[in-house]
């Protein structure tokens, strides 16, 4: 009985810590969503960017709209969509979006280094939304048709 009285405060504090720990939440927009530029396709005066979204989490993401500012050397362009789409748990999704470039003649074909600043609108539930900004750097390919 005496041992039980001594261990009660410890067990009580442990139980409180477990309950409070289970009540914490993580903002969905900050839990691992990644973005990368797969390729840029140029055909005449039009261009498209293919973007890959990665989700390592156990919950899906619903993206209401996206905007990517892409920079390759001195060249830049914007790929934007207002079409909603989902990124399933522990999966990737690719999306090809019209690219609004500044000057396509400055964009040479081949492997290039890029920097991309992305803005997302995450649909959490119902009409509730949260904004998220991500940046990415890497290597991609420019294809001229």
Residue 5 pLDDT grade (very low, low, confident, very high; cuts 50, 70, 90): low
Give the phi and the psi of residue 28 in degrees, each rounded to 5. Answer: -55, -35
Asked if the model's pLDDT at residue 30 lies above 80, the reply is no
- For residues 143 and 40, is the Cβ–Cβ distance under 8 A? yes
pLDDT of residue 27: 44
How much is the pTM?
0.75
Please write the tens of the pLDDT for every residue from 47-96: 999 999 999 998 888 898 999 999 999 899 999 999 889 999 999 999 99
Task: For the chain, give every domain's residue range.
Answer: 32-144
Q: Which of 47-56, 98-107, 119-128 has the highest mean pLDDT?
A: 47-56
Pick the CATH number of 32-144 from 1.10.3210, 3.30.450, 2.60.40, 3.40.50: 2.60.40
Residue 31 pLDDT grade (very low, low, confident, very high; cuts 50, 70, 90): low
Contacts of 37 (CB under 8 A, 6+ apart): 49, 50, 51, 52, 68, 70, 114, 116, 136, 138, 140
Please write the tens of the pLDDT for every residue from 127-138: 777 888 999 999
The half-sphere exposure of 101 on its side-chain side, counting CA atoms within 13 A, is 21
- For residues 47 and 99, is the Cβ–Cβ distance under 8 A? yes
Asked if the model's pLDDT at residue 139 lies above 90, the reply is yes
Distance CA 53, CA 34 (A): 6
């Amino acid at each position: 009985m005496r041992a039980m009285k001594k261990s009660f405060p410890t067990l009580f504090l442990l139980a409180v810590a477990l309950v409070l720990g289970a009540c914490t939440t993580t903002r969905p927009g900050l839990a691992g969503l990644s973005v990368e530029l797969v390729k840029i396709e140029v055909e005449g005066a039009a261009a498209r960017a293919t973007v890959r979204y990665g989700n390592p989490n156990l919950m899906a993401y619903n993206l209401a709209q996206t905007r990517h500012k892409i920079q390759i050397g001195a060249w830049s362009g914007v790929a934007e969509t207002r079409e909603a789409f989902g990124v399933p748990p522990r999966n990737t999704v690719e999306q090809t979006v019209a690219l609004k470039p500044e000057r396509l003649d400055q964009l040479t074909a081949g492997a290039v280094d890029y920097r991309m600043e992305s803005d997302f609108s995450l649909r959490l539930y119902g009409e509730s939304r949260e904004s998220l900004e991500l940046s990415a750097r890497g290597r991609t390919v420019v294809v001229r048709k």
